[in-house]
A and B are shown apart, each in its own frame.
Chain A
Amino acid sequence: MKVFIIDDDQISIFFTERSILMGGHQVTIQTFLSAEKALELLLKVEPDELPDIIFLDLNMPTMDGWEFLESFKQLPQVRTSEKCQIYILTSSLDTSDINKAEEDIFVKGFIHKPIDRNDIAVILQTV
């Protein structure tokens, strides 16, 4: 199983990565400090190389989480595959973000930081 973590906060990445590893799950984790870097890579991969899960931060400079989602939806591999599930992982408590996430069919869940190890176990089981 392949997991992407997109977050401009290095400590937050460290923590999410640690939370997955502590659960003893067999996953490959790839981390990105900007949404642009993640998109760059996603543009190049084959549909079967798409990650199973993306943990996506919202509040990032230049390209934020919502902008990433818009570009992500346009990727040809994403359009032909239903493999990739996106979870918003944010410290935002803003209800408008929560509502927006609920309306977006690409978003499978909205998680407030810090992520709980039990939540990770539930998410990974669904894959």
Chain B
Amino acid sequence: VQYTEADICGLAEELTCRIAKQMFGMDFRCVSAPSAENFQKDTVQGFLNAPVNLELQFKASPQLFYQMAKNAIGDEPEDEFEVQEYAMEFFNVICGRFVSKLKDHCRHNDMRFRPPVYLKNSDQLPDAAGHADEVCRVYFENADRETAEFCWNRNSMNKLWTGSEE
């Protein structure tokens, strides 16, 4: 099976919505464009070291990340670090599933997903090995129309899925 970019976006959408529901009881729906673009964003950033290195990010407002943690805990989070840990775990689970699918599809032997980091008030986009790379973005909104975004380097991702780096 040859994966297209639409398939990869579809997988990101499906995993994000399913895992948000499972971990936080939160309903995300995919939208073609965010209803609000200029809001303060925090970013969870992760790197996959593979034949082509890949950067992935999940962005949302601090308020949305706070709500996700609160839903999971069932109470107010203790501090901002607890909120960040829930955000990173969420991202970790999505990426783990994503990388597993990629690995089983492409059989890359040397792949390592590094622990994610949380960047406060950061709207920087993924950038592969210092090269400006076209970014693929998928958007989500929750029931309160708060926006989140999952994004990655388009060229790196496509090369990994098609095995064209080999």
Q: Do A and B come from one complex?
A: no
Interface residues of chain B, those whose CB is within 8 Å of chain A, are none
Interface residues of chain A, those whose CB is within 8 Å of chain B, are none
